Amino acid sequence: METIKGIPVSSGVVIGRVILLDDVGSTSVPRRPIEPGEVDREIERFETARLASIDELDRLHREAREEMGPEAAKIFLFHIGALSDNRAVVEPIKKMIREDLVTAEHAAWRVFRDMSARFASKKDTTFRSKISDLNDLLARLLKHLIGHKIDEPARLDTDTVIVARDLTPSQTAAFDRERVVAFATDLGGKTSHTAIVARALGLPAVVGCQSLTRRASDGQRIIVDGERGIAILDPDDATVARYRDLDEQARARLLELRDLADLPAVTADGVEIELLGNIEFPDEIAGVLEAGGVGVGLYRTEFLYLTANTEPTEDDQYKAYKACVDLAAGRPLTIRTMDLGADKYTQARAETPERNPFLGLRSIRYCLQNLPMFKTQLRALLRASADGPIKVMFPLVTTVAEFRRARMILRDAMEDLEDAGVPFDRDIPVGMMVEVPSAAIQAATFAREADFFSIGTNDLIQYTLAVDRTNERVAGLYAPAHPAVLKLIRDVVRAGGRYDTPVSCCGEAAAEPDFAPLLIGLGVRTLSVTASAIPPLKRLIRSLTVKRCERIAKKAISFDSEVEAAAYVRDRVRKLAPDAFDGWSID
């Protein structure tokens, strides 16, 4: 039995079997050294996989030619040609196996990755357009070498635990939910979008387990404890029995919490807190309402792009937004325009990695540089606004010019629709995320322009403290209760109050028992959290008074350090609401 400590990101416990995922395409295939005596075997593995891929492509070419004609089928000839190219592909891979003493899959990945980088740097767009073909080819080759198991659900058992170095949010969203019951990764942070998707799917998960992929092997028994943040390989019988008990206790607690769904989220001194849900997919709305949420405070629309192979059309998007409008049935519904980039990249963007993606072409910046795509989304959103109330929210606004420009493009889209006689809500509220320190510092300026603010603590914390939210190595420095963060939030709430601009918070920290009281104490009255967090948050709210929260916030903000502030808040909340930190006590 081996216990590996990581970061808990999605609660629940699961006992299952490991499926080890080697990364393909955008990330990496780990370098596994081989002995000189293993070179011939690796070269043979490569040859077998290459020939099997060519056979497969040959068959696909024939089928495509019959169904779609020779022109459309040509792409498979390019793939076959590339896999038969001795100079550019076959010999370099063999040479790397021989000279660098690495596995066939690692050598193939490196050769294809280098080729993609060369193509990406070319001015000629024909080269760049071939990058996704190279990725497809690599995926095919790797499937034959190591089995790209996610593509083969038949291979997965119903208790599959995915173990991977890292997972993208879209990989996670694409899991076969019938079979995949949990995941654990070497890398990652609590507020990464992969972790957020895990919570949305109710999938227990632990990230930042550092060496897990090196220790785990396919088929091995594993416990993923998403509560305490541990993965246990080959658990002994006593441990399995203990975890079965804990699982039962947790289920019983969940049932108890469900009873709260119909009770109002009101503090003990009678102040109403609006509890909304964060969603990534329209069908999560039912879960939000069932859990006692009164609407949607954040719909992360980028998942429409991340879960599709091609860019969603205006109609695809309209359907998704209309589905939300119908499900929300007149309740609050805030739809955020796409927040692509950083850890949420589409296939196309993965080809041109940025050195510093969280500071790069992300979110509203990406939209403002890709206007046709942005306008398509805005048109779809406006069309859906004719079917029921929607608020539009722009993410990662950093400058006033950005907000004005985004709103101007929204107006352009309105004019287009008007000319075409398409109905929409002319008074649609237009707000922004406050998740960059510049926006928080200039909140008074923004408050005169925006119809509402939603504080995004996930990013606000990362940018204020210069801590990558996805990096397990600095996870200990990611401190929501840092006085610097609290001061920014305080100022945003004050600015909102001065200009009648409603302020909500939709970051993950809004669901934390040692952070939500601070938000309430600082004056935030609307919290938007993942569906599963709504019941415990409601219970916490009902056991606190605003007066107490104000006192706690005032004191926390006065500390010099985040360590003192966090310890103080935790201690206070523990006393006021002893069940707020209900975890699983194992010992």
Q: How many CB atoms lie within 10 A of CB 385?
A: 26
Provide, rounded to whole angstroms, the least separation between the CB of residue 456 and ligand PEP.
Answer: 3
164 bridge partner residues = 21, 185
Min CB(515)–ligand PEP separation in Å: 12
Unique residue bearing structure tokens 């995922």: 21
Among 105, 186, 247, 339, binds ligand PEP (CB under 6 A): 339
Query: Can you say whether the dihedral through the CA atoms of 300, 302, 306, 312 is positive or negative?
Result: positive
Catalytic residue among 193, 209, 482, 549: 193
Nearer to ligand PEP, 459 or 468 (CB): 459
Question: Is 324 known to be catalytic?
Answer: no
If the CB atoms of residues 146 and 338 are measured against ligand PEP, the closer one turns out to be 338
Q: In one letter, which amino acid is 311?
A: E
> Residue 296's beta-bridge partner residues?
277, 333
Q: How far is the CB of 306 from Mg ion (least distance, A)?
A: 15
Alpha carbon 423 to chain centroid distance?
33
By beta-carbon proximity to ligand PEP, the closer residue of 191 and 376 is 191
Q: Where are the beta strands (DSSP E) in 280-375?
A: 296-300, 333-336
Please, what is the minimum distance in Å from the beta carbon of residue 489 to ligand PEP? 12
Query: 339 or 451, CB closer to ligand PEP?
Result: 339
What span, in angstroms and rounded, lies between the C-alpha atoms of 511 and 394?
22
Q: Which does 300 bind (CB under 5 to 8 A by kind): ligand PEP, Mg ion, none?
A: ligand PEP
Measured between alpha carbons, how far is residue 217 from residues 143, 178, 245 in Å? 17, 22, 26
Partner touching 457 among Mg ion, ligand PEP, none, CB below 5 to 8 Å by kind: ligand PEP
Q: Give the residue among 84, 355, 110, 103 at the shortest CA–CA distance from 118.
A: 110
Per-residue burial over 319-341, b if 16 or more Cβ lie within 10 Å, else e, is ebbbbbbebbeebbbbbbbbbbb
| Residue 480 engages Mg ion in binding (rule: CB under 5 A) | no
The nearest distance, CB 512 to Mg ion, in angstroms, is 16
User: How many whole angstroms separate alpha carbon 38 and alpha carbon 43?
Assistant: 9
Which two tokens mark 438? 């510049």
| 300: nearest Cα among 435, 132, 479 | 435
Q: What minimum distance in Å lies between the beta carbon of 517 and Mg ion?
A: 22
Q: Residues 459, 472, 508, 512: which binds Mg ion (CB under 5 A)?
A: 459
Q: Does 189 bind ligand PEP (CB under 6 A)?
A: no
**Residue 300 interacts with ligand PEP (CB under 6 A): yes or no:** yes
Which residue from 343, 435, 512, 514 is in contact with Mg ion, where contact means CB under 5 A? 435
Q: Which helix (H) or strand (E) holds 550?
A: helix 546-558
106 is annotated as an active-site residue: no
Question: Which among 94-102, 198-206, 345-353, 430-438 is the span making contact with Mg ion, rule CB under 5 A?
Answer: 430-438
Q: Which of residues 431-490 bind ligand PEP (CB under 6 A)?
A: 435, 456-459
Residues at the interface with Mg ion (CB under 5 A): 435, 456, 459
Give me the active site residues, please.
Answer: 193, 506
User: Which residues make up the interface to ligand PEP (CB under 6 A)?
Assistant: 298, 300, 339, 435, 456-459, 506-507
